[in-house]
Structures are given as C-alpha cells and as structure tokens.
Amino acid sequence: MLRDRVDPRTYKIRGALIDAGQSSSEFVRLDAYHPMFGQYASAADTHAYRFYYDGRAYEFVLRHLELPNAASYARFSMRLAREGFRVLHCNSVTEHLSAGMIRWGRLPVVTEVYDLTSLYEVTNIRTLFTRKGRRLRGPRKWMLDHVIRNVLRWEREAHQQAAGLVYTSRHMLDYARSEYSISCPSVVIPNAVYGKLLPHEADPDKLSLIEGGLHLVYTGVIRDSESGHHRDICDQLDKISQGDVITHIYPIIPEPERDRVVRRLRGNNQIRWHEPLPYHELYRELGRYDAGLVLLAHHDAALLDLALPNKIFEYVAAGLPVLVSPYKPLLEFIRDYDCGQPLDQLGDAASFHPHRVPFREEFTIEHYIPELISLYDSIGR
C-alpha cells in the first residue's frame, strides 16, 4: 500500500488484511501521525520511501505539475517486484502516485479513491491561486490552467488504466463510471470501523441519565476556512447546542484556523471540548452519548452527494443513532439501516428521540475485506 502520508483508513484496511492472513506492507513518504490513530496506526509500523524530488519543499511540484519522478517510480516499482510484491495499492491527492506507477512502474496498480480530485482538489487549487479575490492574468493564469489540466489527466489515467479500483461509496463509483471508460474490476470499501478496536465490555452510563438533557457528539475536523469549505460547521454547532442540547466535540482543527474556531465556539456553554482520543478509546467514549452528528456545510455539494464520511460508521458501530446533513449518501444510509434522521432544520436536534442502533457487520471494515482480497488475486497472478 503506497501513500504520501499515514492515514487511519490505510491502517484499518491493512490491519484487517493481516488479520485475514494476507501479507500486506505500507510505504509512506511523509510523516503525518496523529494520536487518534492509536497504537494500531503507529508511524513505526510503516516503511519510509523517498523520491528524487521529495520532501515538503517539493510537494507542489509533485502533486500539481508534470510528474517529475519517472526514474523514482520505475526504480521503486522494480525494487518492490524483486522483493516479491504482486500488487501496488495506491492512494494520493492528487492521483500522482497511481498515475506515476501506472506510467513508469512494473507492477499492476490498484487506485483507491477517497475523494475525486475533479470535484474536490480542483476547488482547493483554484482557492490557492485566487486568494483574496485576486483576478488572474498572464503567467499566473497560465500556471493555474496548466496545473488543473495535469491533475485532471492524472485522475483519468488513474481510473482508466488501473488494474483495479477501490471506492469509498457506491455513489462515487457510479459517478466515476459515468465520467470515464472503466473496464477494470472495482470494489466499494466504505470508511467503516476496524471492528477489532470496538469495545467488548458493557456500555457506559449515558450522560443524559446522569445529568439530563440530550447529549450529542461530534468527532473529526472542524474548520473556519474563511474561503468556504464543507467542514466550516462552527455556526451549525453553535445553533444546535442550545437549551437542553449539549454537544461534545472531539475536534481536529487545522492549526492556522485553530484560534478562529475556538473564538467562534468558546462562548457557548452547551459545547464541551474534549481532547482527541485514540480510536479504541474513542469508541468506548461514544457510548456515553445519545446521538452522533454528521455535519457538513453547504460547500463542495457535488462531492458531498457522493461521499460517506467515516464518522457515521463510528457512531452506529457504537450503537448511536445519527443526525445528518441532508446529502444523498447520508440520507440513504439512515434509511437503509434505520439509524437516525436528517437535520433539515437546526431545531430538529431538540426534538430527536434517541434509540440504540443494532450492530451490523456492514459497519466494520472486515466485512469488505474478502472482496478486496479477491480483487488482488484476480490481478496479481
């Protein structure tokens, strides 16, 4: 499994593959460890690799300009082939790793798609070039156009020339098939929880039984980007957390935005802050609450109509119903598993009647691993 930086999804998949008796290794270029990963995602469990153009000073060149590492891709792929690896499972934003290994590598490539670059990263690139509303002309406009052409070409190659494809939702797979000529096998592995980390002891007492009120929980990224992002949810959190509704947050906040997020939320006494926990501890904590929040701001709508966030699986695997922003994959999820309701109005939270969600194997990553193993076997013979 080839990555730019460590991430929890990779560890979930790799851990489940190893549990299923498969030999799986991970190679990572950049260090990016977060304590929420816990021991199962220790940075020490990965192998480092480097390209000729590498390190943070070259990230823009590698991700957005013409792929500069042809020799690096070929050399690394040949090394892995000599060491007995059969398949390269690549994920990156943009799709430079998949595209580079397809072009110059020596092993079949599985492209894993978290978020489609054409619906997400292109927006980020435009924002980077047009900060403060500046109008682009001349060389700067030429550079922006060139970068976008490159990343869109890599997305197309990573889809159309891969030996296999892995998507995080059925909607994302269907969209990709509508945009590209896909002939390789593909599987959907949602951002489910690593079942091995779920607690086995009795559920903790609900805070609502001890203190009264409705206790909601939100885990994950909170932003105040100033330029517009689907994680800009400070206003929603503030408005939901009123009256008898108490919201507990385990936030991951991008460092440049931390002060802005804290200023926006610190005056609300119905919001309680918690330090991010390793996942195996977080899953125990979730049982104390009445429902989980899956909040998304009104940006990147085309992407949000395809994406299924990992937090929804974390909540329901812990038995919590969910209150979700009204995007298609989230609405279908709560309908299929009868596990919550949409937040069409911010006052909907106060009238919500919580219940326990029955556990389903579909909430765990292990449920999907046999299909991934079959994909590897079909292309790695």
Domains of the chain by residue range: 2-194+366-379, 199-362
Half-sphere exposure of 351 (CA within 13 A, CB side): 8
- Residue 5 to residue 344: CA distance in whole angstroms: 36
pLDDT at 35: 62
Bridge partners (DSSP) of residue 272 are 248
Report residue 227's pLDDT band, with 50, 70 and 90 as the boundaries: confident
Given phi > 0 = left and psi -120 to 50 = alpha, else beta, which region is 319? left
- The mean pLDDT of the chain is 91
In tens, the pLDDT along 57-76 reads: 888 888 888 888 899 999 99
Half-sphere exposure of 197 (CA within 13 A, CB side): 31
Fold of 199-362: Rossmann fold (3.40.50)
pLDDT at 138: 85
Domain spanning 2-194+366-379 has what CATH number?
3.40.50.2000
% of the chain residues with pLDDT over 70: 94
The dihedral through the CA atoms of 99, 86, 373, 181 has a sign that is: positive
Half-sphere exposure of 114 (CA within 13 A, CB side): 18
> Phi and psi dihedrals of 77, rounded to 5?
-65, -40
- Residue 160 to residue 169: CA distance in whole angstroms: 18
CA-wise closest residue to 51 among 33, 82, 28: 28
CB atoms within 10 A of CB 257: 20
In tens, the pLDDT along 296-331 reads: 998 888 899 999 999 999 999 999 999 999 999 999
Mean pLDDT across 205-225: 95
Structure tokens belonging to residue 116 = 């489609």
Bridge partners (DSSP) of residue 216 are 247, 291
Mean pLDDT across 236-255: 95
Burial-class residue 353 by CB neighbours within 10 Å (0-12, 13-18, 19+).
exposed
The dihedral through the CA atoms of 323, 327, 329, 334 has a sign that is: positive
- Residue 282 to residue 315: CA distance in whole angstroms: 10
Report residue 196's pLDDT band, with 50, 70 and 90 as the boundaries: very high
Rg (CA), the chain: 21
Residue 314: CB partners within 8 Å, gap ≥ 6?
Answer: 193, 219, 279, 282, 283, 286, 292
Task: Return the beta strands (E) in the chain as ranges.
Answer: 2-5, 27-30, 47-48, 88-91, 109-113, 164-167, 186-188, 214-221, 245-252, 271-273, 291-294, 322-324, 340-342
- Residue 3 to residue 30: CA distance in whole angstroms: 8
- Residue 295 to residue 272: CA distance in whole angstroms: 17
- Residue 239 to residue 152: CA distance in whole angstroms: 38
Mean pLDDT across 116-130: 87
Q: Is 199-362 in the same CATH topology as 2-194+366-379?
A: yes
pLDDT at 55: 78
pLDDT at 77: 94
Between 145 and 34, residue with greater pLDDT: 145
Report residue 127's pLDDT band, with 50, 70 and 90 as the boundaries: confident
Q: Is pLDDT of 33 > 80?
A: no
Structure tokens belonging to residue 240 = 């939901």
In tens, the pLDDT along 254-301 reads: 989 999 999 999 999 999 999 988 888 999 999 999 999 999 998 888
